[in-house]
Structure 1
Amino acid sequence: MTAIEDRERIARAALTRVIEPGDESGGRWLGRFGAVGLMDRLTAMEVDETTLPGASQRRLTSYRTRASAADPQRDLEAIAKVGGRFVCPGDGEWPTQLDDLGGARPIGLWVKGGAQLRTWAVRSVAVVGARACTPYGAHMAGILGSGLAERGWVVVSGAAFGIDGAAHRGALSAGGATVAVLACGVDVAYPPGHAELIRRIGEQGLVVGELPPGGHPTPRRFILRNRVIAALTRGTVVVEAEYRSGALATARRAAELGRHVMGVPGPVTSGPSAGVHELLRGEGTLVTDADEVVELVGDIGELAPERQGDVRPRDLLDPVSARVLEAFPARGEVDAAGLARDAGATTDETLGRLYELHALGFVERAGGRWRLAHRVQGGPKARRGDS
C-alpha cells in the first residue's frame, strides 16, 4: 500500500464519522474533491462559501464539528482489535455493484469476518421482511435461508428480529454463508437480543456496516442501510411486510437498481402479507422456495424443477387406452363393441387396449364381456357415478 493509499483510507475512515450514510450531497463533494481533499477543506482554519459549494451554513458547521472530533486511527485500531477491517472503493475486496448507488454509495464499509466480501456478494440474495412476523413467515424465511445456502448462495439480511433473523439462522443451520448488514457499528450488537446471532454470523459469515466502531443506530439509519442490502445482492426476496415497511423500501430500491424483486405470498387475510401481495401486483415475482429464487437470480440453466401433482396409474395410459377405460360404466359388464363405440375407436383397436388394461389390473374379463376391476370400481370415479 502506498502513502497516498494510506491517506485515502484514513480520510475515508474519518468521513464515516462526518457524512451520514446515503447523504448524496456529501457523496457529490467526496467525488469532486476526493476523501483527502474533502477532509482538508473541513478541517481548514478558515472557510468560505467555496469550501463546500452549495452547502448551507448549518450543514457546513455540522460537518466541521464532526470532522474535528474524528479520530480515524483510533477507529482503524478498534476494528482491527475485533478482527475486522475497513474496505474502501478501489480495494480488491470492494463490491463494485455498490457503485450503482452513485452519490449515495457508501464512503467505505467496516467489515468483520474472515470471508472476502466482494467474492461473497457476487452470488448473494437478500431475504428481508417484517420484524413482527407470523410463524408462517419465520418458517418460510428459514426454509429460504437454508435452501439458498445449500445451493451455494450467500444470504444477506439486516439481523433484525423476525424475518431477518430467521433467514440468517436458516443459512447458518445449513452450514452456509450469510451476511448481516447493520445500521450501527459492526462491534455493536443491535438488537441486543440478537447478540449471540450476530456473534455467530461474524464467525461463520460477515458483519458489515457503514458506521465506524461504536456507531449507534437511528430510525433513519435503518432505512438508509436498506439501500446497501438492495445494491449488494442480485435480488431481494420479501417474506411478509405491511404496506408501510422497510422491507418493501428495500425491494423497491432493488428494482430501481435493476435487481430482481421477489415476494413470498401468504394468506390474503394476513396483514403482514398485504405489502408483499401489493409488491407482487407490480414489480415483484412470486416465489415459493429457493429453487424458484435461484431460477431468477442464477445463471442460465439453473431452472426450478417442473411442478406437478401426484402421478397416478391412469396418467400413464396412452390416449386410446384412457378413452376405453373412461367408457366403462361404474357398475356392470359391457361388450367390446359397445366400448369401441363410446370410446370412438375400432373394435379391433379396443380389444387390443382391453387386454393391455387387463394386464395392468384396470379391468376384468367376464366370459365375452368386460367390467372394471374391483379396485377401480371402488375408486373416486365410481363413487361419483353412483351419486
Structure 2
Amino acid sequence: MTAAVEAMAARGIRVLGVATATPHDRSWAETQHDYDYVLTGLVGLADPIRASVPGAVAECRSAGIRVVMITGDYAATARSIATQAGIADGDVMTGADLAALDDIQLAERLKTVTVFARIMPEQKLRIVQAFKADGEIVAMTGDGVNDAPSLKAAHIGVAMDKRGTDVAREASAMVLLEDDFGSIVQSVRLGRRIYDNIRKAMAFIFAVHVPIAGLALLPLFFGLPILFGPIHIALLEMVIDPVCALVFEAEREEDDIMRRRPRDPAEALFSLPMIVWSVFQGGAAFAMLATVFLVETWSGMPEMELRALTFFALIAEIVALILVNRSFSASLGEALIRHNAALRYVAAAITAVTALILFLPQAQALLNFGSIAWTDMVLAIGLGVMLLVLLEACKPLVRRLTAFAPRQERSLVLVP
C-alpha cells in the first residue's frame, strides 16, 4: 500500500485511503478510532495544472521573482506538481519539520526550500512572517478561509474570485477575476510598464521646459525683443500636454521589462541621475536654439522671421525629445518605428498646424511671424535631427552612469 501511495503521489496525484468497519451492535464507539477498519483501496485525484503555469513561473524567475509552493498535500505529490509547474528545484519541508525549527533556523532554511508540504493554516502565517522578516517583499495567493491570516499578513494578498471564499477576498489586497497564476505575471508586467511610462513622461517634462524657459529669458539678458508671447506658449503646451497624457501612456513595454531584477521599494520614482539626464537633454536643445537665435540676430534677420524660425526649430526639437524619451534602451531605428497610435495622431496634428501656419498668411499675422524661407525650415528640421542623433548617441553612456536599471532586490510569490 505504501509503495502504491508513493507511486501515485510521484505522478502528482492526491491519494485518499478508503476503509470500512462493521460495528457489532448499535452501541456506537466514542470515536471512530475505536473501530477495526479494513482497507478497501486507494482513490487518486488528478488536478492537472493549467498549461500556462510553467511559462508564467519561468517568466517570474527571469524577472527576479522567486516562486515558492505552500500546500497541505503529501510531500511527494507537492514535489511532483512543483516540478510540473517549473518551480525551481530545492528542498521540500513538511509541516512536522517546520514545527521543529525555531525562527532563526527557519530563516536559514528559507533560502533553500521551494516546496512546503503538509502545512497547517497557522504555519502558512508563520512562513509569510519569516519571509518578511528576512527582507523579502511577499505576495501570497489563496482562496480558502484558512488562507485569510497569511493573505492579510503578506505585503500583497491575492485572492481568487471564482473559487475564493468571501473571507479570503476581504483579507486580500487584490482579487483575480480569472483564477490563473498567469494573471499575476501579467499584472507584474503591466505594473512595470506603467512605472516606466510615468518615468518617461516625467523625464520629457523636465527636458522640454528647459529650452522653453531659456528662450523666454535669453532675449531679456541681451536686450532683444521678446520671442514668444502667450499664444506661442499656448501652442507649445498643446503639443506637450497630449504627449504626456497620451503618447507616453500608450508606449509599449521595454523588451527587457521581464528580465530585470525587482526594484528597491525605497527607490525614488524620479531619481537625481534621471533629473540630470533630463536637464542635459533640455540644455543641449537650448544650446542649439540659442546659438541659431544669436547668430541670426547678429546677422540681421528680421524679428518676425527670426521668431518663426526659432518657433519651428523648437517644435522640431520637442519632437526629437519625444523620440528620445520613448524608450530607455531602444535604438534610434526602433524609436522611429515603434508602434504608438497616439504618437501618430500627435505627429499628424503637428504637421497639419505647421503647414497651416506656413501657407496661411492670416495665421502668420496672428502669431506675429514673418514668411520663412525653405532653407530656414530645413535648418529648423536639421536642428531637431541633430539633437535626436546626439542624445541617442549618449544613451549607452547615460544608462551606465544614471542606473536606469532597477537595483537587484528580490521579490517573492507564495503559491498555496
Q: Given the two structures, how large is their TM-score scaled by the length of structure 2? A: 0.30
Which structure ranks higher in relative contact order (CA pairs < 8 Å, sequence separation ≥ 6)?
Answer: 2
More helix by share: 2
Q: Given the two structures, how large is their TM-score scaled by the length of structure 1? A: 0.31
